[in-house]
Chains A and B, each alone.
Chain A
Amino acid sequence: MTPGATEISGPGDPGLSTTAERRIVIGDAGGAPDKEWVIVARGLTREYDMGGEIVRALRGVDIAIRRNEYVAIMGPSGSGKSTLMNLVGCLDTPTAGEYWLNGMLVSEMNDDELARIRNREIGFVFQTFNLLPRASALHNVELPLVYGGVPATERRKRAAEALDSVGLADRKNHRPNELSGGQRQRVAIARALVNRPSILLADEPTGNLDSTTSAEIMNVFEQLAASGQTVIMVTHEADIAAHAKRVVVLRDGMVESDDRREKFATRMNG
C-alpha cells in the first residue's frame, strides 16, 4: 500500500482495493451502515432468467460511497455497469444482496416505496436523455415535483431555477426536439437535480454527444461535484473518468478495482 493511499483512506474507507480492508467499511450483512455512507451495497447480485438460461449481470458487488464523493464507474461493455446503476438508482431490485441508501434498506422495499425513493433521493441522467418529447423543457423538469406533490406555483419556480442553474433559462418553453443534444442533456440534469436528490446518477451521460458537447456536460457534473453533490457516473472514456475523484472498475459483474483517482491515473500511466 502506498503512503498516499493510506493518507486518504483512513479506517473504514472504501477506496481500498484489498478485500480484507474493504470489509471493514462494508460491515457485516444486515447491519445499518454509519450515517456518512450514502450508499452501502453488500454482495449485490442481479441475475436475468433468459428462458432457462441464467445471465449473471452482477455477481456479488460490494461498494460503499460516502456523501459528496464523485465516483466514476468503468468497465467493458456488458460488465454490469448499467445493471449496477439501475440497482443503485432503485429502478431495479437485486436478486440477492442488500443495498442501503441513506441508512434505509432499499433492497427490501416494495414498488411504491422504491418510487418514492426515486422521487426524493435520486436524480438519474440517462445516455438517451429520456425526456418527454411532447412536453416543454420546463414541464419536463417539473415532473418529479408533480409526483412529489409539490404545489403548481412552487414547482414552476423550482423548475425554472433548476433550468437556470444549467444555463437554459431562455429555453424553458422549448420542446426536446427544438433543443440540441447538449441542451437536452442539460434539461435532463436539471430534472435530476430539481428534487435536490442525495445522489446524482448518470449512465454514460455523454455517450450520445460529440466531444465538444461532452466536455461541456462533464463540466456541469464537475461543478456539481465541486459544490458538494454526490455524483456516480458510468463512462468508458478514461479522460472523462479522470474528472472523478474515485474510479470503480467492473468486469464480468464483479468489482475488479475500486480506487482513488490518483491511484487509477498512476496505474493507467504506469
Chain B
Amino acid sequence: MHLLDAVRLAFQTLRVQKLKSFFTLAGVTIGVMFLIAVVSIVEGMSSYMENDFVAKLIGVNTFQLRRFPMISDASESEWREWVRRPRITFDDAREVAAALPEEALWSVESSDNIPIESRFSRPRALEATAIDGDYFRIRNMEISLGRLISPQELTLGTRVAVIGEEIATRFFPRLNPIGRTLKVGGTSYEVIGVAAKQGSIFGMSMDRFVITSANAPLQRLVNPHNLIDGMKIKMPTTDGMFEARETVRQVMRGRHKLRPSQKDNFVMETSESALEFWRKIEGNLVIAGVILPAIALIVGAMVIMNIMLVAVSERTREIGIRKAIGAKYRDILAQFLVEATTLSIMGAAIGVALGIILSQTIAALSPLPAAVAPWSIVAGILVGAGVGVIAGVYPASRAARLDPIVALRAE
C-alpha cells in the first residue's frame, strides 16, 4: 500500500471520529503551542539583546574599560575581589587616549541618580551622566530638537545639557525645552538638545537621562574627585578594536603596576562579552521552556497511544477484513502509524498557529519581545510527527500482529 493511500485512509477515519480526534490532539497542541511561544519569546529577547540592547549599551567595534563587568552573575568571592580593584581615573583615561591611534574615538562617562527639577515640575532623582570625548558619536546619538554639546563646551564645562525625550516631557510639559533651565543637583543648566526617542528595553525607558560635560559641576556629584565609571573606545574595524584593546590593556597594567603573573584588575567589555551573560540566561530559559512543553507532549503521546489502542480493539474486525484480502504486516502497521502521525501532526499544526498567536499576544501585552523563529515552526511539526510515531508504534504493531481469523471473528 502506498503512503498516499495510508494518509487518505487516516483522514477518512479522522473525519468520521471528529470529537475523539479533537481530544487526541489536545495534548500535542498544547505542548507545541508552548514550545513555539517559549522559543519565540527567548528568540525575540535574544535578537533584541544582540541587535538592540547590547548595541545601545556598548555598540559595534566598541569596548568599554571599566573596573568590573556591567552585566554579570558574579559570585560572592568575585564581587569581593572586584570591589577591591582600583577605580578608573581621568588620568588613566588621558594616558589611554594618548596611546590610542588617531582613528580611535573615545569617551569617558560617569552616571548616578541625581535630583533634577525645573520650574514646571517637582524634583525627582533621575539618571544624570557626565561625559567627555566623542560620547555622542560613539553612541550614535541623534538629536530631535536643538543641538549636541560642542567639544569646546565639553572642555570648558559649560553649563548646558542634552536630555532624553522623557525628561523633556516630564520637566517641560507641552513646552519647547530648548533654552530653558533644568536644575541638576542644585546647579542650573541650559537645555540645548533633546535626544531622539530610544524606546524601552524590557519596560525600562531609555529616554530618561540628562547629559552634561564631565567638566561641569555634575561630575563632582556622580563621582569622587578624578574618578570615572568607565571609558568607551570605538575603532573603525573589528581588528582595530582588538588591537586597541591590547594597547589599552598594556597602558592600564602599567598604570596599575601589575606584575606579569597578576591578572588584569579591570575589564574591557565588548558587546560580545556582555552578551555572554545573556547567553547563559538564555540557555536556562530554553531548558525551562523545553521541559514544560515536553511534559505536555508526553501526556499527548500517552493520550494518542491510548486512543489508538482503543481504535485497534474497536476496529479489530476491520483489520481482519483487510488482512483477509491481502494486507501485510507492514500495511496495517503503516495504516495505524500514519493515522497516529497524521493526528499528531494536525495537533502540532494547530499548536504552531496557537503558539504564534500566544507569543504575539504576549509581545503586545508585555514588554517581552517575541519573534517567531521559522526553525521553531519546523521543529514543532517534527516534534508532533515524532510524538505520533512513538505513540503509534505499539498500537500499530499490535494491530498488525493480529491473526486474521481471530480478528474476523471479533464483533
| Chain A residues proximal to chain B, CB less than 8 Å | 86, 89, 91-92, 111-112, 115-116, 118-120, 124, 126, 130-132, 134, 143-144, 146-149, 152, 191, 195
Asked if residues A147 and B405 are in contact (CB atoms below 8 Å), the reply is: no
Let me know if B388 is at the binding interface, CB within 8 A.
no
- Residue from A134, A143, A149 in contact with B325 in the complex, judged by beta carbons closer than 8 Å: A143
Distance between Cα atoms of A192 and B5 in the complex (Å):
20
Let me know if B206 is at the binding interface, CB within 8 A.
no
| Chain B residues proximal to chain A, CB less than 8 Å | 1-2, 5, 12, 16, 317-318, 320-331, 404-405, 408
Contacts A134-B16, A147-B331, A149-B1 given; does A92 touch B325 at CB 8 Å:
no
Asked if residues A144 and B325 are in contact (CB atoms below 8 Å), the reply is: yes
Closest 9 pairs (CB-CB, A-B):
A119-B326, A147-B326, A115-B328, A144-B325, A118-B326, A91-B404, A130-B321, A112-B328, A147-B327
Asked if residues B318 and A191 are in contact (CB atoms below 8 Å), the reply is: no
Q: Which residue on B lies nearest to A120, using beta carbons?
A: B326
Asked if residues B326 and A191 are in contact (CB atoms below 8 Å), the reply is: no
8 pairs of residues in contact across A and B, judged by CB atoms under 8 Å: A86-B405, A91-B324, A92-B404, A112-B330, A115-B323, A116-B328, A120-B326, A147-B325
Asked if residues A124 and B325 are in contact (CB atoms below 8 Å), the reply is: yes
Q: Which residue on A lies nearest to B401, using beta carbons?
A: A111
Asked if residues A130 and B408 are in contact (CB atoms below 8 Å), the reply is: yes
Asked if residues A147 and B329 are in contact (CB atoms below 8 Å), the reply is: no
User: Which of the listed residues B324, B326, B331, B408 has the most CB atoms from chain A within 10 Å of its own CB?
Assistant: B326
Q: How far is the CB of B198 from chain A (nearest CB, A)?
A: 62
Distance between Cα atoms of A157 and B322 in the complex (Å):
20
Q: How far is the CB of B406 from chain A (nearest CB, A)?
A: 10
**Residues of B contacting A116 in the complex (Cβ-Cβ under 8 angstroms):** 326, 328
**Residues of A contacting B323 in the complex (Cβ-Cβ under 8 angstroms):** 115, 118
Q: How far is the CB of A79 from chain B (nearest CB, A)?
A: 17
Asked if residues B328 and A147 are in contact (CB atoms below 8 Å), the reply is: yes
Given contacts A124-B324, A147-B327, could you give 19 more A-B pairs where the C-beta distance is less than 8 Å?
A86-B405, A91-B404, A91-B405, A91-B408, A111-B329, A112-B329, A115-B326, A115-B328, A115-B331, A118-B325, A126-B408, A130-B408, A134-B16, A143-B325, A146-B1, A147-B322, A147-B325, A147-B331, A152-B5
Asked if residues B2 and A119 are in contact (CB atoms below 8 Å), the reply is: no
Distance between Cα atoms of A116 and B404 in the complex (Å):
13
- Residue from B1, B12, B408 in contact with A147 in the complex, judged by beta carbons closer than 8 Å: B1
- Residue from A118, A120, A148 in contact with B324 in the complex, judged by beta carbons closer than 8 Å: A118
Asked if residues A143 and B322 are in contact (CB atoms below 8 Å), the reply is: yes
Distance between Cα atoms of A144 and B323 in the complex (Å):
10
